[in-house]
Amino acid sequence: MKKVLIINTGGTIGMVRTPNGYAPKAGYFRELLETIPELHSEETPDWELTETSPLLDSSNITVVEWNRIASAIVENYDRFDGFVVLHGTDTMAYTASALSFMLENLSKPVVLTGSQIPLCEIRSDGRDNIITSLLIAAEGKVREVCLFFGGELLRGNRATKYSADGLIAFVSPNYPTLAEAGISIKYNEAALFAPPSGDLIFHTFEDVPIGVIKVFPGIQFSLFESIMTEKLRGIVIETFGAGNIPGDGNALLPIIKRAFANGTVLTVCSQCPQGAVSLGVYETSGALKRAGAVSGLDITTEAAVAKLYYLFSCGFDKDRVKKNMEVSLRGEMTVV
Ligand code: ASP
The confidence score (pLDDT) of residue 283 equals 76
- Structural domains in the chain plus CATH codes: 3-202 (3.40.50.1170), 210-324 (3.40.50.40)
The confidence score (pLDDT) of residue 256 equals 82
Say how many residues make up the chain: 336
The confidence score (pLDDT) of residue 108 equals 98
**pLDDT tens series, the chain, 336 aa:** 899 999 999 999 999 999 999 999 998 999 999 989 999 999 999 999 999 999 999 999 999 999 999 999 999 999 999 999 999 999 999 999 999 999 999 999 999 999 999 999 999 999 999 999 999 999 999 999 999 999 999 999 999 999 999 999 999 999 999 999 999 999 999 999 999 999 999 999 999 999 999 999 988 888 888 888 889 999 999 999 999 988 766 677 788 888 888 899 999 999 999 999 998 888 778 888 888 899 999 999 999 999 999 999 999 999 999 999 999 999 999 998
Instruction: Tell me the CA distances in angstroms from 302 to 103, 162, 290, 291, one per residue in order.
Output: 17, 12, 25, 24
Q: Which residue's CA is minimally distant from atom 3 of ligand 1?
A: 88
At 5, is the secondary structure helix, strand, or coil?
strand
CB of residue 90 inside a 6 A radius of ligand 1: yes
Given the CA of residue 92, which atom of ligand 1 is nearest to it? 4
Q: Is 267 assigned a catalytic role?
A: no
Distance 75 CA to ligand 1 centre (A): 26
CB of residue 118 inside a 6 A radius of ligand 1: no
The confidence score (pLDDT) of residue 20 equals 92
CB of residue 113 inside a 6 A radius of ligand 1: no
Q: Which long-range contacts (CB under 8 A, 24 or more apart) does 216-222 make?
A: 217/246, 218/246, 219/246, 219/248, 220/251, 221/248, 221/251, 221/252, 221/255, 222/251, 222/255
Cα 276 from chain centre: 18
CB of residue 14 inside a 6 A radius of ligand 1: no
CB of residue 58 inside a 6 A radius of ligand 1: yes
The confidence score (pLDDT) of residue 250 equals 64
Distance 211 CA to ligand 1 centre (A): 22
Amino acid at residue number 231: K
Q: Taking the CB of residue 261, how many other CB atoms lie within 10 A of it?
A: 10
